[in-house]
Structure 1
Amino acid sequence: MESLIAAFWSGNYSPHGYCLFWQPQLVWTHVVADTLIALSYFSIPWALIALVRRRRDLGFDWMFWCFALFILACGMTHLMGIVTLFSPQYGVEALVKLVTAGASLATAALLWVRLPALVRLPSAEKLKEANNELAAMVEQRDAALAELQNEVVQRENVEAALLQAQKLEAVGQLTGGIAHDFNNLLQAIAGNLELIARRPDDADRVIRWTSSALDAVERGRQLTGQLLAFSSKQRLDVKSVRLAELIGGMAGLIERAVAPLSRVRLERIDPVWNVQTDALQLELAVLNLAFNARDAMPEGGVLTISAELRSGKVAADLPPGDYVALTVADTGTGMPPEVRARAVEPFFSTKGVGKGTGMGLSMAFGVMRQSGGTLLIDSEAGRGTAITLVLPLATVPPRRDVQDDAARDERISLSTLKVALVDDDPQVRASLAETLHTAGAMVEEASDGAAGVALVQSKRFDVLVVDFAMPELSGNEVAEQVAAIDAGLPVILITGFADSAKLDAMTSPNVTVLRKPFESQELLRKIRDVARR
C-alpha cells in the first residue's frame, strides 16, 4: 500500500501531454477547454453567494453553500488537468478529486434527504393563487372595518340621542316642582313690587323690598340655568370639579326630585375634595339616582347623600389610587339579587311601560367609567339601596371665576356713549333704555332686527345692544349684517335662549354674549368695557 501511495509522488511518470504525442492542436484544445470549464465553474459559486446574500428569505441556503463548494472543487479538477499536461502532478490531482468526491457525495445525500420538502414548495401558479386569496381577504377585512366604523358612529349617535332623551325626561319629571318654585318666585317679585308701588316714599323699605325681589330673580336665574344646562346638548368634558359646591348647588333640584313625600339629608362633604369628571353629567347622574330613590319610596322616606375619601384598591375594576366615593342612599324597597345583577343594563327597568327609560343607572355607570371611576350598588330587598359613584380624586384644583363683590356697588358712567338698542319686547326694551339713560348714555331704540340694521346704517354708534331671539331677523343675523356695515362696532348679544350651538357659532371677536336675566350693573360694565371711544 505504501509503495502504491509512494508511486503517486515518485515523479517517474510522464506528463499527460506525452500521451497526446505533444501534438499542439490536441494539447491546446485541452488547455483552452479546461480553462473555460474551470472559469465557468469558478463563476457559479460567486453567483450562488450573491443570490443567497440578496435573497435571505430563500429556504435551504445551506444547500446553495454545499453546491458552491462542489462546483468549486470541480473547477479545481479541470485546472489540475491543465497542470498534468505539462507536469506529472498526479498525486495533487488525486487529492483534488478526493475533495470533489466528498463534496459531491455530501451535496447529493443532503439533496435527497430534503427532496420532499423541496417538492412541497409552492409553484408560481400556487403563489399567484395564494396572493389572490390574500388580496380577497384584505378586501373583506377592509369592508368589515368600514362597516364596524359605521356601526361605531351609529352607536355614538344613538347614545347621544339617549343621553339627550334622559336629560329631557329628568326635566319633565321636575316640571311640577319647577312650576311651584316659579310661582313662588313670581309671587315674591309681584308682592315686593306692589309694596314699592304703595309706599314709594319709604326709602328704607323700598331698598329692602327691591333687594328681596332681586333675590327672587337670582333664584329664578339659577333654576333656569340648571334646566338649560340639562336640556342642552353637551359633550363629556372631564375636568376637576368641586364636589361640595356641585352637590350643594343642586340641593334644591334634589329636594324637588323626591318631593313631596320624602326628604333629603345632605351630609357634609369636605370642600377640599375635587373630583375628575364632567360636572353636568355628574349632576344628571345624581338627579336620576334621586328619581330612582323617590320611586323606591312610594310611602316616603329619607334620601341621604354623603361622600368619603377612599384609597388603594377600592374596586375590582379600578387601579389602586385615591378616589372620592359619593353615595346616594334611600330607605326604599331595595332590589332583589336578580334585579341588582342587571341594574346597569341599558333599557332594563322594573317600573313598567311609560314610567322610565331604563337608562338612568346605565348612563350614570357610563359617565363614571369615562371619568376613570365606577359605580357600586349595595341593595337588599326591603332594606333600601345605596348607589356609590366612585370618582378619581383630582390632582389639580378647579378653575374659579373670581368676581369682585364691590363691583355691584360700582358707579358706572356711560356719558358721551351712543348706544343702539334693539329688542322686540317693549317692556324689556323700555327697562334697558331707562337703565342706559340713567348711566348717562345716549340711546336710540329699534323694535326689530331690520330696524336695528337701518339704525346702524344711518348713524355712528359706540356699541350695539341686540336681543338674540327675535322674529324674522335674529340677533346673530343682525350682528352679521352690521359687521358688513361697520366692522369695528362692538355688539352685545343679550339672550335667554337655550340654543347654545347657534351662540357658540358666533365667533366674531366684536360680539359679546350676555345671558338673561342679568343685573343692570353687569350690562353697564359690559358696555363700558367693549365700547369704542
Structure 2
Amino acid sequence: MLDLFRPFFDGSYAPHGYCLLWQPELIWTHVIADALIALAYFSIPLVLISFVRRRNDIVFGKVFWLFALFITACGLTHVMAIWTLWDSVYGLEAIVKVVTAGASVATAATLWPLLPKALALPSPAALRAANAELAATISERDAALARMREEMAQREQAEAALLQSRKLEALGMLSGGIAHDFNNLLQAVGGNLELIERRSTEPDRVQRWSRNAHKAVQHGKALTSQMLAFSRVQKLVMATVSVAAVLDNVSELLKGSIGPSNRLEIVPIDEDLAVATDKAQLELAILNLVINARDAMPKGGTIAISAEGRTGDVHADLPVGDYVEISVRDNGVGMLPEVLERALEPFFTTKVVGEGAGLGLSMVFGVARQSGGTVQLDSTPGAGTTVSLILPRVPMRAVGQEEGNVAETVTEGGRSLAGRSILLIDDDDGVRETLVEALSEAEAKVVSASSGDVGLQHLRRMRPDLLVVDFAMPGLSGAEVASLARATHAGLPVLIVTGHARTAEVDAIAGPRVTVLQKPFSADTLIRTANSMIAESRRD
C-alpha cells in the first residue's frame, strides 16, 4: 500500500526548470504568467463570497460557493506550477489537481440542473415590463383611492343633508303641537299681564300672577331650546349622556308631537344609566321613534318609553358587554314581515307621498351604529311595534353645561352696577327697552343703540365697562360689532345675547372676556353676569 503512494513523495524527479534548460526568459515568463493567473483566481472567489454574503436572497447561492472552491483550487494549480520549476513536488501538485478536479466536477454537476431555472429568470426587458405594469397598477390604485375619498366625502355631505332634512321634517310634523303649546304659553303670559294691569294695586296678587307668567316664559324657553337643537347644522360631539336627562329634556316636545288622541307614558328611568353618544342626535332619534309610533296608531293609543340596563350577549350584532336599551312601544297596526325586513333601509316608507321621506328609522339606526350599538325591531301585525335602541353603557359622570348657557351659572357679583357704564345694542325696541330698564334699575349708566353702526359711533366717544350686543341684527351682526369693538378697545368685555343656537360666527370670537347669554334670561341673570364680567376684566 505504501508503495502505491511512494511516487507522490519521491524527490528524485528533475524539477520542471530542467526541462526548460534553465533558460531565464522561459522560467520567468512562466513564473509571472502563473503568478498573475493565481492572483486573479484568488481574487474572484473573494468577490463571489462577498456577493453571496451580502445578498441573502440569491436563489442559487450554493453554486456560487462551489465556484469559489473550484476557482481557488485552479489558482493553487498555478502556484504549484511555479513551485515545481525549482522543486520536484509533483506528488503535491497531483493532489492539488485532484482537489481541483473534484471541485470542477461538483460545480458542473450542480450547474447543469440549474440551467432551466436560470433560463426561467426574467430578462431585463421582462423586468422593465413588469415594473411598468406595476407602476400602472399603482397609478390605477391611487386613482381609485382618490375616487373613493371623493365618494366618501360626497356620501358624508349627502348624509348630513339627509339628517338635516329629517330634522326639518320632524319640526314640520311638530308644528301643530308646538303651535298649540305656544298658544297656551301666550295665553298664560297675556292673561296674567292683563290681570296685573287691572289689579296693579294688589301686591300679593300681582306677585302671584307675575310668577305664573314667568313660569310660562321658562316653559317656552325649554321648547325653543329643543327646537334650535334639532334645526341647526352642527358638528357631532360624542359625550357621556344621561338617558334620564335626555328623556326629561325632550318630554315636552314628545307630548306636543303625539296628538290629542294618543297618550305618552315614560317609565321612570334609573339615573345611573348613561351612554356615549351625541346628545342632540339621541334626542332626535327618540323623537323620530315617537312620531313613527304616533303614525302607526291612526285611531289613537298609548306610546310607552322605557330604558333599562342589560348585560351579556344582548344582540347578535354586538359583543358581550354592558348596554342600555331604550325602547319605544306602541299598540298600533304593527308591521308585516316583509315591511319589518326593510324598515331600516333609507327612503323606505309605507306612508303616502308627503307624509314622510322614509329616513326616520334609518337615521335612528345610523345613530346607534355610530355610537357602537344597534336597533332591534319587534312587531306583530295588529298588535303594535317595539323599537329598541341598544347602546353601550358607560360610567355616569358629571355632564357638561349646555353651550350657549354659560352665563346662567354665574355666581359672582351682586345686583348693583353703580358706577358702571354699559353700551347696549339691540335692534328690537321691546327687548332693548326692557334691558335698559333692568340695567338702569341696577344703577348702571346705560347708553343704548338700535343698530351696530350707531353703537360703533357711540364707542368712538366713550369707553364702556361692558358691551352688551344682540347677535342677530340687520346690517352688522353682533359678532361683527364685537370684533370691530375689540379691535379699537382692547380687553373690552363683550356679552352677546342671542335667541339663536350658538353658531360658528359666535365661536370665532368666543374666548376670554366674551360670554354668550341665551334668550330668554332673567334680569337677575343679566345683572349678575354683567357684574362678574366687569369684575373679572378689572382683575386682569
> TM-score, length-normalised on structure 1?
0.96
C-alpha separation between the residues in 2 aligned to 1:421 and 1:486?
16
Residue in structure 2 matched with residue 61 of structure 1 by the alignment: 61
> Is 1:394 aligned with 2:397?
no
State the 1:319 CA deviation. Answer: 1.6
> Is 1:226 aligned with 2:229?
no
* Aligned ranges 1:423-438 → 2 under 5 Å: 423-438=426-441
Residue in structure 2 matched with residue 101 of structure 1 by the alignment: 101
In structure 2, the residue corresponding to 1:376 is in which secondary structure? strand
> Is 1:524 aligned with 2:532?
no
Residue in structure 2 matched with residue 344 of structure 1 by the alignment: 344
C-alpha separation between the residues in 2 aligned to 1:452 and 1:136?
64
In structure 2, the residue corresponding to 1:228 is in which secondary structure? helix
C-alpha separation between the residues in 2 aligned to 1:163 and 1:197?
47
In structure 1, the residue corresponding to 2:516 is in which secondary structure? strand
Which letter maps to 2:284? L
Which letter maps to 1:75? G
Q: What do residues 486-530 of structure 1 show as CA deviations (whole Å, max 9, x unaligned)?
A: 223222111113462222222353322111111111100111011
> Is 1:256 aligned with 2:261?
no
State the 1:213 CA deviation. Answer: 0.2
Residue in structure 1 matched with residue 6 of structure 2 by the alignment: 6
C-alpha separation between the residues in 2 aligned to 1:270 and 1:87?
109
C-alpha separation between the residues in 2 aligned to 1:2 and 1:263?
121
* Aligned ranges 1:199-218 → 2 under 5 Å: 199-218=199-218
In structure 2, the residue corresponding to 1:334 is in which secondary structure? coil
Residue in structure 2 matched with residue 131 of structure 1 by the alignment: 131
> Is 1:198 aligned with 2:198?
yes
C-alpha separation between the residues in 1 aligned to 2:306 and 2:96?
97
Picking from 475, 480, 483, the partner of 1:480 is 483
Given that residues 297 and 332 in structure 2 are in contact (C-alpha distance below 8 angstroms), is that contact kept between their aligned partners in structure 1?
yes
State the 1:373 CA deviation. Answer: 1.2
Given that residues 310 and 322 in structure 1 are in contact (C-alpha distance below 8 angstroms), is that contact kept between their aligned partners in structure 2?
yes
> Is 1:512 aligned with 2:515?
yes
Given that residues 417 and 462 in structure 1 are in contact (C-alpha distance below 8 angstroms), is that contact kept between their aligned partners in structure 2?
yes
> Is 1:462 aligned with 2:438?
no
Aligned residues: 533
Given that residues 242 and 398 in structure 1 are in contact (C-alpha distance below 8 angstroms), is that contact kept between their aligned partners in structure 2?
no
Residue in structure 2 matched with residue 414 of structure 1 by the alignment: 417
Residue in structure 1 matched with residue 170 of structure 2 by the alignment: 170
C-alpha separation between the residues in 2 aligned to 1:316 and 1:27?
94
In structure 2, the residue corresponding to 1:452 is in which secondary structure? helix
C-alpha separation between the residues in 1 aligned to 2:425 and 2:185?
28
C-alpha separation between the residues in 2 aligned to 1:404 and 1:120?
80
State the 1:280 CA deviation. Answer: 0.8
Residue in structure 1 matched with residue 365 of structure 2 by the alignment: 365
Residue in structure 1 matched with residue 321 of structure 2 by the alignment: 321
Given that residues 41 and 75 in structure 1 are in contact (C-alpha distance below 8 angstroms), is that contact kept between their aligned partners in structure 2?
yes
Given that residues 416 and 441 in structure 1 are in contact (C-alpha distance below 8 angstroms), is that contact kept between their aligned partners in structure 2?
yes
Which letter maps to 1:471? P
In structure 2, do the counterparts of structure 1 residues 404 and 457 end up closer, same or farther at CA, with 3 Å as the change threshold?
closer
Higher mean displacement: 500-509 or 73-82? 500-509
Q: What do residues 139-176 of structure 1 show as CA deviations (whole Å, max 9, x unaligned)?
A: 11111111111111111010011011111111110000
In structure 2, the residue corresponding to 1:174 is in which secondary structure? helix
Q: What do residues 341-361 of structure 1 show as CA deviations (whole Å, max 9, x unaligned)?
A: 111111111113222111111
Which letter maps to 2:104? S
In structure 2, the residue corresponding to 1:352 is in which secondary structure? coil
Which letter maps to 2:342? R
State the 1:179 CA deviation. Answer: 0.3
Residue in structure 1 matched with residue 496 of structure 2 by the alignment: 493
> Is 1:382 aligned with 2:382?
yes
Q: What do residues 191-230 of structure 1 show as CA deviations (whole Å, max 9, x unaligned)?
A: 0001111111111111110000000000000000000000
C-alpha separation between the residues in 1 aligned to 2:8 and 2:441?
134
Higher mean displacement: 410-419 or 326-335? 410-419
In structure 2, do the counterparts of structure 1 residues 147 and 392 end up closer, same or farther at CA, with 3 Å as the change threshold?
same
In structure 1, the residue corresponding to 2:469 is in which secondary structure? strand
Which letter maps to 1:53? R
> Is 1:290 aligned with 2:290?
yes
Which letter maps to 2:372? G
Which letter maps to 1:367? V
Q: What do residues 347-405 of structure 1 show as CA deviations (whole Å, max 9, x unaligned)?
A: 11111322211111111111111111111111122221111111111124132559999
C-alpha separation between the residues in 2 aligned to 1:363 and 1:275?
18
Given that residues 242 and 396 in structure 2 are in contact (C-alpha distance below 8 angstroms), is that contact kept between their aligned partners in structure 1?
no
State the 1:460 CA deviation. Answer: 2.3
Which letter maps to 1:420? L
Higher mean displacement: 186-195 or 16-25? 16-25
Which letter maps to 1:425? D
Residue in structure 1 matched with residue 117 of structure 2 by the alignment: 117
C-alpha separation between the residues in 1 aligned to 2:488 and 2:87?
112
C-alpha separation between the residues in 2 aligned to 1:351 and 1:375?
21
In structure 2, the residue corresponding to 1:170 is in which secondary structure? helix
Pairwise CA RMSD: 2.1
State the 1:6 CA deviation. Answer: 2.7
Q: What do residues 403-435 of structure 1 show as CA deviations (whole Å, max 9, x unaligned)?
A: 999989x96111111111222222211111111
Residue in structure 2 matched with residue 156 of structure 1 by the alignment: 156
Given that residues 48 and 68 in structure 2 are in contact (C-alpha distance below 8 angstroms), is that contact kept between their aligned partners in structure 1?
yes
* Aligned ranges 1:81-92 → 2 under 5 Å: 81-92=81-92
Q: What do residues 90-139 of structure 1 show as CA deviations (whole Å, max 9, x unaligned)?
A: 22111111111111111111111000110111122221221111111111
In structure 2, do the counterparts of structure 1 residues 406 and 362 end up closer, same or farther at CA, with 3 Å as the change threshold?
closer
In structure 1, the residue corresponding to 2:509 is in which secondary structure? coil
Given that residues 275 and 392 in structure 1 are in contact (C-alpha distance below 8 angstroms), is that contact kept between their aligned partners in structure 2?
yes
C-alpha separation between the residues in 1 aligned to 2:27 and 2:476?
113
Given that residues 466 and 493 in structure 1 are in contact (C-alpha distance below 8 angstroms), is that contact kept between their aligned partners in structure 2?
yes
State the 1:3 CA deviation. Answer: 4.2
State the 1:481 CA deviation. Answer: 2.1
C-alpha separation between the residues in 2 aligned to 1:466 and 1:213?
26
C-alpha separation between the residues in 2 aligned to 1:193 and 1:222?
21
> TM-score, length-normalised on structure 2?
0.95
In structure 2, the residue corresponding to 1:492 is in which secondary structure? strand
In structure 2, the residue corresponding to 1:357 is in which secondary structure? coil
Which letter maps to 1:46? L
Given that residues 453 and 476 in structure 2 are in contact (C-alpha distance below 8 angstroms), is that contact kept between their aligned partners in structure 1?
yes
Give 4+ residue runs of structure 1 displaced > 4 Å after superposition: 1-4, 400-408
Residue in structure 2 matched with residue 80 of structure 1 by the alignment: 80
Structure 2 residues without counterparts, runs of 5 or longer: none
In structure 2, do the counterparts of structure 1 residues 406 and 309 end up closer, same or farther at CA, with 3 Å as the change threshold?
closer
Given that residues 329 and 386 in structure 2 are in contact (C-alpha distance below 8 angstroms), is that contact kept between their aligned partners in structure 1?
yes
C-alpha separation between the residues in 2 aligned to 1:330 and 1:97?
102
Given that residues 332 and 382 in structure 1 are in contact (C-alpha distance below 8 angstroms), is that contact kept between their aligned partners in structure 2?
yes
State the 1:2 CA deviation. Answer: 6.2
In structure 1, the residue corresponding to 2:386 is in which secondary structure? strand
C-alpha separation between the residues in 1 aligned to 2:514 and 2:251?
35
State the 1:325 CA deviation. Answer: 0.7
State the 1:5 CA deviation. Answer: 3.5
* Aligned ranges 1:238-257 → 2 under 5 Å: 238-257=238-257
C-alpha separation between the residues in 2 aligned to 1:256 and 1:404?
29
Question: Quick one: percent identity of the two aligned structures?
Answer: 54
